[in-house]
A and B are shown apart, each in its own frame.
Chain A
Amino acid sequence: MKTDSFRLRRVFAITSVAFLFTLAISPAKNYFREYRSIQEQFRKLGASRAHSLKDAKTYQNRPVAISQIWLRDFGNRVDRCTTCHQGVADPAMANAPEPHRLHPWTAHTPGDSDRMGCTSCHSGEGLATVRGDAHGTTADSSSPLTPLANIEAGCGRCHTSEAVPQAALLSRGRALITKAGCYACHSVRGHEQFRSEAPPLNSVAVKTGGEWVRQWLKNPRAMDPNSSMPNFQLDTQQIEELTHYLFSRPVNPELAAKVAAASQEAPGDAVSGKKIFSESRCITCHTVEGKGNGSAPELSKVASMASRGWLLAFIRDPHAFSPETRMPRYHFSDSESRDLVAYFETELKDFDAPEGILDPLHVNQTLAEKGAKAFRGLGCFACHDPAQGTIKEKFGPDLNGLGDKRAASLDFGRRTDLARTLPAWTAAKLMDPRSFSAGLKMPNYGFKNEDVQAIVTALLSLGSKPVPEAYHPVSHGTSAPIPGGAIGQLVQQYRCLSCHQIGTQGGDISTAPLTFEGSKVKRDWLVNYLMLSFTIRPILEERMPIFRIPKDEAEKLADAIESFYVNPAIPEDPFAGRPASDQNASEGQRLYVANGCRACHIIGPSGGYYGPPLTDTSTRLKPGWVFKWLKDPQAWRADVRCPNYGLTDTDALRITAYLETLRAPGAQKSSGGKG
């Protein structure tokens, strides 16, 4: 009894000590949390970098505490990133080691840090005070940090569906998405109205031959490197079925008649056609053997791609064949277009093409019916037959909210080689969409590596929750409407928007947005330019094509631009009623030279080639615009290279006055003979 009791007491003593010890472990762990030592490091680092004893004391006396940014507007969230990243807003911490480093300057840092916090741009778990959780490196984390390579995805959370000048990768990604036509199959907020440029397939039978279609379906890029059609990796059977189906589709009788009539015409003069081809600057959009802009088909084999009659009819009225094409309608005469096609047939032809590549196909109905099924099953209709695509459901999965998908919810299928992260998954989907499992339908776009990074960035910007109203970017009054009526028809006919931007719409081939063109150039100059456009910026390869616009149309367009596309902020007359000569133009000339404008601009015989020549400024540009430009060149387009010299009003006016005195040598009237 005694010994038993003694043994029991000994056990009791041991368990009591163990009990107290185990219960003390958690508080101890709590005390040695990682952020405490990081804050300790920061205090030491700050003190060592401080310039005064007082500053050093301030660093040393910082309390150890969790610090957080309260984001009222974002659903009452908090970001505790600054608990460890204490130096993000501390200029003394420039170039300090992480996590103490100062945040690099951006348009929103440090200005908007308190308003936006950290996670609204960078993602990550704002609540976390533990590294792995905060950065989302732990498995199945709800919100991992956006990788540095795709960091601009954060910009796109607020700047939805628009180009962001300071986020080049994001903007490029978005442009690539539009160009590749992703929105045809995938729905993304803000792109519901997307229409593919792909031609409606209602005149295949009169355009080309069965063999050509087979080769095209096998690999479109092999036939035309500029093609935006992806490779559907079809097998021979599918190719055969689809080809028969395409030739079985009824041909629009109007188009058939046009092509038939054109094919009866006598051949033109190839030499003259070659001249017209280069004069019209077709390679501003097309390429010939790779030379040219590349936003429109490669033409070096065009005569082996479509029949003569179709080419003629198409050049005369491209919009009848392909309503969404970016190609403008030129004012070629009947004989001019014949000459162009004659040139195509003598020089721009695939001399290695098999015999009869353009021979029509004898349709096999069984194959055609199977092909019709394949056409639907493969999603061809999404681009080529938007009318059939009016079904509410898009062909592919909805991409909204993709950027907030948890990696755990993604289907990696066979791809065991990938990192289990959303960016890696998205990139692999873009590089090789069918590698995940059998039966996937997304075709191969053949994106290059850097394109994939850009598109991943753009896709990661598609958040699941819309940002609060107050964080929607302020658009800079750039929503300029396209006028309707006769003017609208002209804008359509010449496809101004294929190259120029108007407001947020339009292409990026031209460097001159038309949004405020009316405030920029003088009407008479504009009329002449439209009728016979010439090179404004010598360094650019893409030049405005010559559409052969008749004078009355050019005047209508110029008048419309003068009345629609003006900016009220640009004064009509910056000199306030006084003649330009009242300003000190010679001082302006001195400033022009002193600021080094000559490095980029030509006046008279000398100057650089980067900017437009300024010799005929007074005939081309309105002084009000010149003045405003000089004050802040980047106000018009963020990517303008012209430096902002921070000129005063007086100096800017003086340079404006100097430029206003310049006259093109041919148009010299009463100039002071300067420049």
Chain B
Amino acid sequence: MNIPSLDSLGRWFRGTSVYRSIVRHGVAETSRNRSLIVFENLFLHVHPVKVREKALRFKHTYWLGGITMVCVIVLVASGVPLMFYYHPSVPQAYQDMKELKYVVDNGVFLRNLHRWGAHLMVFGAFLHMLRVFYHGAYQPPRQFNWVVGVVLLVLTLFLSYTGYLLPWDQLAFWGVSVGTNMAREAPVIGDKLRFFLLGGNAVSENALLRFYVLHCVLLPVVLFLFLGVHIWRIRKDGGVKGPSEEAPDAFHEEEP
């Protein structure tokens, strides 16, 4: 019996009508097909078909936005399984942390991944902001995208902060108590704001439930909305902008 080579098997598979119904373009050997790969794919089509070669260089962006984005993906991927094991109630929430360690397969790994991923996301977002600032990448036409970025930074902080309470340990409880006590000092609305956030006058089970809903539903939805706008805008504003001093050298004008 003839053992088909891997290559011929691949060719056969790409020729089947099922495959052709899903993927309409051919092998990525031609530029046409390479373009088709990008704009026929929902997930890739935020990319332009062509990018400046310069934009691929490490020093152009230090990939900081990318790192932050990967963190978002990691956080969703580890956060959703964690939700299966978590009850936002007292004292079960804390017991669930123990169960993650003692019973759930890979529970500790998931929790650690989520925790460190969250820290990296805050850190990455902050560095990304600095990079954009020092490269002057907020200048027209990118003004609005900078504002969207600031909103995203604030959302990231809120996400991290609401998640901080969920383990319901001493660290969580007092960390959130200290933070929300600061919010109380806001003039006029301070106390009301805190009451609204905590669902009461102190950090309690109500606060845990509110933070849980904020952390798992409301804030992620808002984050993804803004993230969509942010990434869409990068493309619409002409791609990522690197160090500003490059610009004058890159163009020269010519009479037609």
Contact = CB atoms under 8 A, between A and B. Distances in A.
Direct A–B touching in the complex (beta carbon < 8 Å)?
A: yes
Interface of A: 26-27, 29-30, 66, 80, 125, 127-130, 133
A27 B102 contact: no
Contacts of B103: 66, 129
Contacts of B102: 66, 80, 127-130, 133
B109 interface: yes
Interface stretch (B93-101, B143-151, B240-248): B93-101
A26 B102 CA distance: 14
25 contacts: A26-B106, A26-B109, A27-B105, A27-B106, A29-B109, A30-B105, A30-B106, A30-B109, A66-B102, A66-B103, A80-B102, A125-B98, A127-B95, A127-B98, A127-B99, A127-B102, A128-B98, A128-B101, A128-B102, A129-B102, A129-B103, A130-B101, A130-B102, A133-B101, A133-B102
Interface of B: 95, 98-99, 101-103, 105-106, 109
Contacts of B99: 127
A27 B105 CA distance: 7
Find the residue from B95, B103, B106 having the highest chain A CB count within 10 A. Answer: B103
Nearest to B94: A142
Contacts of A125: 98
Contacts of A26: 106, 109
A27 B102 CA distance: 14
Find the residue from B95, B102, B109 having the highest chain A CB count within 10 A. Answer: B102
A30 B101 CA distance: 10
Contacts of A29: 109
Nearest to B109: A26
Q: Sorted from nearest, which 4 A-B pairs have the closest CB atoms?
A: A26-B109, A129-B102, A127-B98, A26-B106
Contacts of A30: 105-106, 109
A431 to B, nearest CB: 30
Nearest to A29: B109
A133 B98 CA distance: 10
Contacts of B109: 26, 29-30
A486 B20 CA distance: 108
B104 to A, nearest CB: 9
A85 to B, nearest CB: 15
A26 B111 CA distance: 12
B229 to A, nearest CB: 30
A381 to B, nearest CB: 37
B107 to A, nearest CB: 9
A129 B103 CA distance: 7
A643 B105 CA distance: 55
A127 B100 CA distance: 10
A27 B103 CA distance: 13
Given A26-B106, A133-B101, 18 more contacts: A26-B109, A29-B109, A30-B105, A30-B106, A30-B109, A66-B103, A127-B95, A127-B98, A127-B99, A127-B102, A128-B98, A128-B101, A128-B102, A129-B102, A129-B103, A130-B101, A130-B102, A133-B102
Contacts of B95: 127
A80 B98 CA distance: 12
Nearest to B110: A26
A26 B101 CA distance: 12
Nearest to B92: A76
A129 B106 CA distance: 14
A27 B95 CA distance: 22
Contacts of A130: 101-102
Contacts of A128: 98, 101-102
A66 B106 CA distance: 15
A276 B211 CA distance: 81
Nearest to B99: A127
Contacts of A133: 101-102
Nearest to B97: A127
Contacts of B105: 27, 30
A468 B147 CA distance: 58
A128 B95 CA distance: 11
Nearest to B95: A127
A8 to B, nearest CB: 10
A351 to B, nearest CB: 63
A64 to B, nearest CB: 13
A546 B252 CA distance: 124
A130 B95 CA distance: 15
A80 B99 CA distance: 11
Contacts of B98: 125, 127-128
A361 B142 CA distance: 94
A620 to B, nearest CB: 60
A65 to B, nearest CB: 11
Nearest to A26: B109
Nearest to B104: A30
Nearest to A1: B53
A135 to B, nearest CB: 13
A127 B103 CA distance: 9
B55 to A, nearest CB: 15
A130 B99 CA distance: 11
A29 B109 CA distance: 10
A40 B99 CA distance: 23
A26 B81 CA distance: 15
Nearest to B112: A26
A79 B183 CA distance: 41
Nearest to B102: A129
A111 B99 CA distance: 28
Contacts of A80: 102
Contacts of A66: 102-103
Nearest to B106: A26
A133 B103 CA distance: 13
Contacts of A127: 95, 98-99, 102
A130 B105 CA distance: 13
A236 B102 CA distance: 59
Find the residue from A26, A29, A129, A133 having the highest chain B CB count within 10 A. Answer: A26
B126 to A, nearest CB: 26
A125 B95 CA distance: 11
Nearest to A140: B170
A30 B102 CA distance: 10
A127 B91 CA distance: 14
Nearest to B91: A75
Contacts of B106: 26-27, 30
A125 B101 CA distance: 12
A128 B99 CA distance: 8
A133 B108 CA distance: 14
A26 B105 CA distance: 9
A66 B103 CA distance: 8
A411 B109 CA distance: 34
A127 B109 CA distance: 18
A284 B125 CA distance: 82
B105 to A, nearest CB: 5
A27 B110 CA distance: 11
A46 B98 CA distance: 31
A474 to B, nearest CB: 31
A133 B100 CA distance: 13
Nearest to B105: A30
Find the residue from A27, A29, A127 having the highest chain B CB count within 10 A. Answer: A127
A30 B104 CA distance: 9
B210 to A, nearest CB: 25
A26 B106 CA distance: 6
Nearest to A128: B102
A129 B101 CA distance: 8
A193 B102 CA distance: 45
B144 to A, nearest CB: 34
Nearest to B103: A66
A66 B99 CA distance: 12
A133 B102 CA distance: 9
A446 B102 CA distance: 45
Contacts of A129: 102-103
A130 B101 CA distance: 9
A468 B117 CA distance: 43
B45 to A, nearest CB: 22
Nearest to A31: B105
A369 to B, nearest CB: 45
A375 to B, nearest CB: 40
